[in-house]
Structure 1
Amino acid sequence: MVVTSFKFLTYLGEFGYIHDASREAGPAGLTSKEAYTAAIKRLQRFAHLPETGVVDRRTLELMERPRCGNKDELDETQDSSRRRHKRYVTANSKWEKNDLTYRIENTTPDLSPGRVRRILSDAFKVWSVVTPLTFTEVMHSDADILIQFSEGYHDDGYPFDGKGSVLAHAFFPGNSKGGDTHFDDAETWTFNSTDGVDLFMVAAHEFGHALGLAHSSNTEALMYPWYQGYTDNFRLPYDDVQGIQTLYGSPSNRLPNTPRPPIVVPDNRDRDRGGEAPITPRPTHPPTKDDTPCTGNIDAITVIRKEIFFFKGSKFWRRGPNGLAAKPTEISKFWYNLPSDGIDALYERSDGKITFFKGDRFWVFSSNHMVTNFPVEGRRITELGVGKNVKKIDAVFTWPYNKRTYLVTGDMYWKLNAKEDFIEYDYPRDMSIWKNVPVPLDSAFKYWDGKTYFLKGDQYWEFYDNKMRTRKKDGRPIGRLLGCHNGELKSDMTLRLSDDPDDNEDDDKESGYKHT
Structure 2
Amino acid sequence: MEQVVGLKTVLILIAASYLLSIKGTGSERVFHSRDHSDLELPNHPQADAILSPEAAQQYLMKYGWVTPVNWEEQAFGDIPELDQAPQDVFQLISEGESTERTTFMSPKTEISPDFSESLKKFQEANGLNATGLLDTPTKVTMNKPRCGVPDIKAPSKRKNATLSLLATNTTPHNSSHTGNSRRKRNVLSTLFDHFRRRRDDREALENENPASFSKRTLKWRLMGEGYSMQLSIEQQRRILITAFRMWSEVIPLQFEEDLTGEDIDIRVGFGTGQHLGCSQAFDGVGQQFAHAWYLGDIHFDDDEHFVGPSSEQGISLLKVAVHEIGHALGLPHINRLGSVMQPNYTPQGKHFELDWEDRKTVQKKYGACDGSFSTIFDWVRKERNSRGEVFYRFNTYFFKTGWYWMYENKSNRTRFGDPLPIKTGWKGVPENNIDAYVHVWTWNIDAQYFFKGTQVWRYDPEKDMAYTEDWKKNKYPQLISDAFPGAPSPVDAAFFDKKDRLIYFFRGNNVTAFSVDKNKVVDHFPKWIIDVFPPVEPSDHPVGHIDAIYYSYTYQATYFIKDSYYWKMVKDQDRQANASLPVNGLWPRKKINSKWYDICDVHPSVLFNAR
- Alignment TM-score > 0.5, same fold: no
User: Which category of TM-score, normalised to the shorter sequence, fits these structures?
Assistant: 0.3 to 0.5
Output the TM-score relative to the length of structure 2: 0.37
Q: Give 1 or 2 for the bigger CA radius of gyration.
A: 2
